[in-house]
A and B are shown apart, each in its own frame.
Chain A
Amino acid sequence: MSANYAATATDIYKTFGDTMAVAGVSLAVPAGSIYGILGPNGAGKTTTIRMLLGIIDPDKGSRQLLGHERPLEAAHEVGYLPEERGLYPAMACEEAIAFMGALRGLPIKEGRARAIELLHGRGLGDWIGKPIRTLSKGMAQTVQLLGTIVHEPKLIVLDEPFSGLDAINQAKLEELIRAEAAAGATVIFSTHVIAHAERLCERVAIIAAGKVAFDGAVDEARGRLRPIVHLRTRADDGPWRSALPGDARRSGREWKFELPEVGPEPLLRALLDGGAGIETLSIERPGLHDAFVAIAGEAAAKKMDEPVEVAA
């Protein structure tokens, strides 16, 4: 199991006071994949990640990180960007990166050299020697991200990595995640923005209310839903209407319904033979958002769209 999976959780539980934050989460992250943990704020994503990494122990259940039952034993091969970013403000950028590497077993000199290389490689050479406190929040986050990967970890865990970044830096981060995955690393990231997961992930876990509502390939999540047919006809009525499913919704002369299981052919034949007069016809694959709504429910999806409030 451990050879194929970079991280697994088996039925883990965590209660804080009277709140059950994680209620029986199981997931398996294939090695070398980009894995998204998707869910609204407060769904239990961060708690799940903290348990996977061994920062906290689950009340119940077990987890494995790179084949280790005790996650800290794998610490040297893991990189982690917490949701609440934090660096020592007085440290210079390259020192902060080297320090984070040193925590993960990278010799400090090597870390410093790599930090300088990483900064130069991103055209950030002029940050060298600058204390963290002089940087903007987004800049500090970039430094911390570089510190997360400086020791070339096999597994990179990023908790809400896109929040706090502008569009340009979000694109850069996507690029970095793809590059790390291409180099063989496994990347786990959590997000409440479906678009990021949709663009990046091969697999996702959808977490809502402390439970995994879905764990699998993005295509599989989409596959849970039938494609949607959008149809506009010249004719108002006719025998072709019987080929449309009963729950088809109509607005004017436009119809919207799930593609019947028998496929598009019987539908097309009925439309043509019945003289419906097809004006436009499109069959769309559902997006991850639709899948999310179908899997996690309307309420969870609404929560995802709420603006992020940075909890104190």
Chain B
Amino acid sequence: MTIRETIGAAYVIGRRDFHATVFSKTFLMFLLGPLLPLLFGFLFGGIGAQAERNETPPTVAVISSGADFALLDKARTRFIPLEEGRPLVALRAVAPEANVAAQRDQLLKAEEEKLLGVLEGGLKAPHFTGAVNADGRTVKQIALFVDEAQLMASGAPTASRGPPVRISLTDQSGGSLASAREITARAGQFLIFFLTVFLAGMLLSQLIEEKSNKVIEVLAAAVPVDSIFIGKLFAMLAMSLVGIAVWLTAGAIGAALFLEQGLGSLPPPAVGWPAFIALGFLYFTTNYLLIGAVFLGIGSQASTVREVQTLSMPVTMAQVLLFGFAVLGVGQPSSAEAIGAAVFPLSSAYAMIARAAEQAAIWPHIAALAWQILWVILILRVSARLFRRSVLKSGPAFRWPWQRKAAL
């Protein structure tokens, strides 16, 4: 068989698989599935925002004289610039009654008030009581407010204790750029991981159909097993790309409708956005082919759907492990971890997309892609050989260790 014939036969197998998958009713579910969480995300996001607006900020009741409260409130105002999304603890003035202890207990018990705690004793003997974390936000803020108010009360100058900080702004410092690019690197890795985990698992069960309806005999008599594996792998890749194209389009429309910034807020990768996106696509493809080829090989050894189902959890875990290995190298592209992950074929794509975000050189990517494709071919050949040996029972007798046991 020449390579041309092998590819030709793989095309026949792949075309059948692609048609059988894409032109089925279940494929619609496949396409819609990932859109549902997005849809719900937008829906609940909206509800969440609505709820947040209605919510009153966490409040502490302050039992003190009017003067003390005014100072405390003024102190609090000084810290408002640090809020950044999470409001500071609000203060509410409560005029002291005769029995302050009873008044405090009553305030804490009152359910409708939603009080975090009660501050009593004014600035002379401040005492906070509340059901909060001992070293949490509320306690720290109250301590700061009180401290600042006490400073003010002691007559220390508040307007100008010294010259203010002079601030000069630069675009980005080297350090901030590197750490910002880590975000892009991780985002790229995660996207590839997420898509592969969701899409490559299907390859585990790819040969079950042929085995159970005996078509495998017709296929194996007509074309090399290599062709069957290549055809199946690429058919699933094509199907996944159809899915991704649909989801990306929907995602882009969604982003345009609902988000103000979207991807624009990610720091630009070292190789630039167009190259990064192209590499992302290529690395998804090679990653899918690599992991898919392994899955196809593993799945082809299984003889029942039950076996495939049992296998799917451990192989997903193995994927998480590979991903974790590649994550180690992010932020230090020259480290042993990063280079190791880039060289190890099954984590190579994850490591390299991170590198694309962090370093501008293009040649390592060409080398890595060639390396990964070489491994796709190797894995496919080994899988096909194992399939011929252990499933079709070709060549010298071969059994997996667990099959040996079962045969006794």
Indicate if the CB atoms of B397 and A86 lie closer than 8 Å: no
Indicate if the CB atoms of A59 and B396 lie closer than 8 Å: yes
Kindly list chain A residues whose C-beta atoms are within 8 Å of the C-beta of B13. 103
A82 to B399, CA, bound (A): 24
Kindly list chain A residues whose C-beta atoms are within 8 Å of the C-beta of B399. 17
Indicate if the CB atoms of A84 and B394 lie closer than 8 Å: no
Indicate if the CB atoms of B397 and A73 lie closer than 8 Å: no
The answer to whether A36 has its CB under 8 Å from any CB of chain B is no
Partner among B1, B215, B395, B397 whose Cβ is within 8 Å of the Cβ of A72: B1
Kindly list chain A residues whose C-beta atoms are within 8 Å of the C-beta of B217. 55, 82, 84, 86
Indicate if the CB atoms of B9 and A103 lie closer than 8 Å: yes
The answer to whether A90 has its CB under 8 Å from any CB of chain B is yes
Indicate if the CB atoms of A56 and B215 lie closer than 8 Å: no
**Least Cβ–Cβ distance between B325 and chain A, in angstroms:** 38
Indicate if the CB atoms of B392 and A55 lie closer than 8 Å: yes
Q: How many A-B residue pairs have CB under 8 A?
A: 79
Indicate if the CB atoms of A104 and B20 lie closer than 8 Å: no
A86 to B214, CA, bound (A): 5
Indicate if the CB atoms of A89 and B213 lie closer than 8 Å: yes
The answer to whether B219 has its CB under 8 Å from any CB of chain A is yes
The 8 A CB mask of A54-96 against B (1 = contact, 0 = none) is: 1111010000000000101101001010101111111100000
On chain A, the number of residues with a Cβ less than 8 Å from chain B's Cβ atoms is 33
Interface core residue of B20, B214, B218 (most chain A CB under 10 Å):
B218
Tell me the B209-236 residues at the A interface (CB within 8 Å).
209-210, 213-224
The answer to whether A99 has its CB under 8 Å from any CB of chain B is yes
Indicate if the CB atoms of A72 and B213 lie closer than 8 Å: no
Interface core residue of A59, A70, A72 (most chain B CB under 10 Å):
A72
Tell me the B361-408 residues at the A interface (CB within 8 Å).
388, 392-397, 399, 407
The 8 A CB mask of A98-115 against B (1 = contact, 0 = none) is: 011011110010000000
A73 to B5, CA, bound (A): 9
Grouping DSSP codes into helix (H, G, I), strand (E, B) and loop, the B interface class, with mixed when no group exceeds half, is helix
Indicate if the CB atoms of A88 and B213 lie closer than 8 Å: yes
Indicate if the CB atoms of B220 and A55 lie closer than 8 Å: yes
Indicate if the CB atoms of B393 and A56 lie closer than 8 Å: yes
Indicate if the CB atoms of A103 and B214 lie closer than 8 Å: no
**Least Cβ–Cβ distance between B64 and chain A, in angstroms:** 79
Indicate if the CB atoms of A55 and B221 lie closer than 8 Å: yes
The answer to whether B12 has its CB under 8 Å from any CB of chain A is yes
The answer to whether B137 has its CB under 8 Å from any CB of chain A is no
Indicate if the CB atoms of A80 and B213 lie closer than 8 Å: no
The chain B residue sitting closest to A70, CB to CB, is B1
| A57-B395 contact given A86-B214, A86-B218, CB 8 Å threshold | yes
Kindly list chain B residues whose C-beta atoms are within 8 Å of the C-beta of A59. 395-396
Tell me the B178-230 residues at the A interface (CB within 8 Å).
209-210, 213-224
**Least Cβ–Cβ distance between B354 and chain A, in angstroms:** 42
Indicate if the CB atoms of A17 and B215 lie closer than 8 Å: no
Indicate if the CB atoms of B215 and A87 lie closer than 8 Å: yes
Additional A-B contact list (4), CB under 8 Å, known A70-B1, A80-B222, A103-B12: A56-B388, A75-B221, A85-B214, A90-B20
Chain B residues packing against A (C-beta within 8 Å)? 1, 5, 8-9, 12-13, 15-16, 20, 24, 209-210, 213-224, 388, 392-397, 399, 407
Top 9 closest pairs, chain A to chain B, by CB = A86-B214, A56-B394, A103-B222, A82-B217, A86-B215, A84-B214, A102-B12, A80-B221, A55-B220
Q: Can you spell out 10 A-B residue pairs with CB atoms less than 8 angstroms apart?
A: A15-B397, A16-B397, A50-B221, A55-B220, A72-B1, A73-B1, A82-B218, A89-B213, A91-B20, A108-B12
